[in-house]
Every structure is written in C-alpha cells, then in structure tokens.
Structure 1
Amino acid sequence: MNPVMDAWTIDRAMRVAEAELSTTLPRRWAHSRGVARRATCLTRVLGDDASLLKAAATLHDVGYAPRLAATGFHPLDGARFLRDEHRADKRLVRLVANHSFALLEAEERGLQEELATEFPLLDQPLLVDTLVYCDMTTTPDGDRTTAQDRVAEIRSRYGDDSVVGRFIRRAAPEIFASVERVEAALAAQPR
C-alpha cells in the first residue's frame, strides 16, 4: 500500500473536502467530486501514486472554503489548511498548492515567492500533469469537458482583465500540453 494513503485515506480526503465545501460552495464541491472521478480513470497510468492523485483531486479546491480564505489564493490557503490543521502528507499538500499551474497565478497575485518557498513543485511531472488533466477536463458542475472549453469557460466567468483571466491566458499553453501528455500516456497503456 502507498504510505501516503496509510496516513491520509481517500475517504478522509472526501470527508474533509465535503465538510469545507458542500454547504458553503456546493458548485465547487460538485467540481471537486468530478475531478476526483476523473482521477479514478488514471490508475493504470500512475500505479502506486493513483491514490495520492485521487486525494489531491478531491482536495485541490478546498482553499476556496470561506473560513480558509486567508490570502484569497485558494491553492495556498488550501495547502496551509491541509498542512497545519490536518498534518497531511507533504506530497499531497504540494500537489494541492501547485495544482493547474498555480505558480503562474501566484505571480499575478504577488505570492509567487511565498508559494514556491513554502510548497515547492513536486519533481514528478506525470503526477503533476495528471492533476492538471483532471481539473482542466472537468466543468464547474463536475461533468467532463475538453481543456479548451474549460479554459474558455474560466476566461468567460472571470473576464480577461481579471487576475484569473490573465493567469489562465498565460497558463493555457501549459495546460493544453499537460492534457496532451496525459492523453498520450493513457493511449500508450495496455487496456
């Protein structure tokens, strides 16, 4: 069994995310559940890290919870919550902190050094890519979508001149490349 999941089970991740998001942000909770479902499809690509991905997918947006929004930057707020209140595994916390090219948004917010110092990006490109894939191929309501449609939806929702709009425009090529790498890895796996 994966040692990360010995200490931090997928069920625990689901309970924590549900407690923080289901009542205050039900649409965000629907998205998180959808992202977790997408992670389930990647077991054959990740092997031992599949459980870690599913826990990170479930928790990636927990920092949006109003009571956790200390900086207003959900990857940083969520990672600090998981580290400080739950003593979650370091790899899990770093995945949540850096999901979907968060470092680029941190730069837009003046938090790049803080995020990078406190939660360095994991040196596991496929694991990082799979979380991007799960997040960026899931709609706000938890349904499947393409990365192109997801980026367009985010730009439409936030506006191109907002912090998130500027970030997503910069991150789009990286997001699309991550999704392509995961799709290639899936295609290369025996069924």
Structure 2
Amino acid sequence: MRASDLQPIGAGLVGAVTGFASSFALVVAGLQAVGASPADTASGLLMLCVLQGVLAIGLGLWFRMPLSFAWSTPGAAVLVAAEATTGDFRAAVGAFVLCGVLLLVTGLWPALARAVTRIPKPIASAMLAGILFPICIAPVLAAVQLPALGLPVVIVWLLFARIAPRWAVPAAVLATVVVVLASGEGLSSRRPRSRPCSA
C-alpha cells in the first residue's frame, strides 16, 4: 500500500476520533442532566455508537462512498440546558422521539421545510449560542473551582491547539480521563466537565 493510499485513511481516522471525542463528554453530561442513571447513560451511548456504525457501513456500501454519521452536539447541549426542566429520563427520551418525528415530517413536507429555512440565521445562531456559551466556558469555571482537575485539561488543549490542532480535542479528552482516574472520581459521582470549544 502506497503512502498516498494511507492519507485518506489517516484523515478519516483523525476526523472520526475528533468528532467523537469533541462531544462525548457533552453527550454524557446531557444524559445525566435529564435523569439518566449510569446504566441508562451506558446503554444510550452504546446504542448511539452502534447505530452510527451501522449507518456508516450500510449506507457507505449502498452508495459506494465513505459516509460518516455523528450525534447532534447542539442536541446534547439542549439536554444539558433541560436539566432544570425535567429530571425524568423517560420524558427526555419521549421528547427526542417526538423531535425526530417532527424533523422527518419537516424533511418530507417541502412547504414546511421552506418555512424553516426562512428563520433568520442570526436568530438561529443566537439561540444556539445561548445554549452553548455556558458549556463553552465550563472548562474555565472548572479551572477556577477545581484547579487540580480543570487546569491540566485546559493546558493540554491549549498546548495541542498550538502544535497539533487536529489532535487538541482528543488529547484534552485523554487528559480528562487521566485526571479523573488519578483523582479517584468516577462518572457516577461527578458529572463530566465539558471540553473546550473547538471549531
């Protein structure tokens, strides 16, 4: 196999790892925010990963092109923001099922799809920013409140963002795992901190 053949494989691996790692902690935090137990969280993550893999392999073979599927980071952020609204995991699952049905209807109903696209982009961006901003500054707050846990993650992210931007998010996630294991904390006893925002 030539080096030129390995380049797209490497790019795909980096993209997959970065896409997964960049929002993994956010998805976990979102599930726990709406009342998911550790078992519920593990089951939810397993189903998400399996479904993404099945879609990527199945549709990739069907269309004869590489396809990638990922969970919705804004959707996970909405879960985090919904903590004060509901603590019932079943209600959150029902809400997301209903949301999926509405999205399907929107895609199949051209008039409704056109109406959605008429929402001014600045308003849509502001709505998303209102949800994501508190999550993006969470690492800074963690570094102030729990410097022994937060600062190493932020420092690793800043360092890799400077020398190897593509690996900044995976490195920060790995640093988080190391810090959590070293401190003796677990996901069941402390909600995972959000990772620094990335483009």
TM-score under structure 2 normalisation?
Answer: 0.25
Which structure is larger by alpha-carbon Rg, 1 or 2?
2
TM-score under structure 1 normalisation?
Answer: 0.26
